[in-house]
Amino acid sequence: MYLQIRLKTERYALSLEHLIEVVTLGEVTPVPGAPVTVLGLCSLRGEILPVLDLGRLLVIRGAATPRRLVIVADGDRRAALAVEDVTDFGQLPETTEAVDSPLLRGGVIVEGALISVIDVPAVLGSTDGSTVSEPA
C-alpha cells in the first residue's frame, strides 16, 4: 500500500511501511545554519521532528508552498516531509521505470502518468544525521 503525494505537477508515492501519519503544516521553527532542505523543527504531540522540504530534496523547481506534513520513520529515524498535497492511498504495481535520483526507488506508469516511489530511508539519510530525529 502506498500514500500518493503531489509536488508541483509531479506525482510521488511512499510505502505505508514508513508512514506514521499525515498532518496539516503548522508552525515550523527555523534552525539557523540548517541546510536549505531543512525547513526547521516542529513539535508533534511533544516530539520534536525535523521538517524536510521534499520538493527541494528532489530538486523540483517552482514547487508551491507545502501545506501538509507526512510523518515518516525508518527504524529510530523520524522526520516530517513537507509536501503540497496528499492525493491518494492504495496499491501500486511494481516499479518498472528507471528514475534519475538516489532518493527514488523507481517509477510506475498509472493511467498514463509517472508516479515515482520515494526511498524513505535514503531521504532520511540525505540530511546531516544531527537533523533527523532519533528518540532517546
- pLDDT tens-digit profile of 60-88? 887 678 899 999 999 999 999 999 999 99
**What CATH number is attached to the domain comprising 85?**
2.40.50.180
Summarize pLDDT for 91-112 with one digit per residue, the tens: 999 989 998 899 999 999 999 9
Residue 132 within any structural domain of the chain: no
Q: How many CA atoms lie within 13 A of 85 on its CB side?
A: 9
| Domain encompassing residue 74 | 2-127
Give me the pLDDT at residue 64, please: 76
The helix/strand count (H/E) of the chain reads as: 2, 10
| Phi-psi map region of 81: left, alpha, beta (phi>0 left; psi -120 to 50 alpha) | beta
Within a 10 A sphere around the Cβ of 110, how many other Cβ atoms? 15
Kindly report whether the global pTM for this prediction surpasses the value 0.95: no
Residue 134, domain member (yes or no)? no
Residue 37 falls inside a structural domain: yes
Q: Is the pLDDT of residue 134 over 80?
A: no
Residue 44 belongs to some domain of the structure: yes
Spatial contact of 66 and 84, defined as CB atoms under 8 Å apart: yes
The total of structural domains in the chain comes to 1
- 135: in domain: no
Rounded-to-integer distance, Cα 6 and Cα 11, Å? 5
Q: Is 33 within a domain? A: yes
Residue 79 burial (CB < 10 Å; 0-12/13-18/19+)?
buried
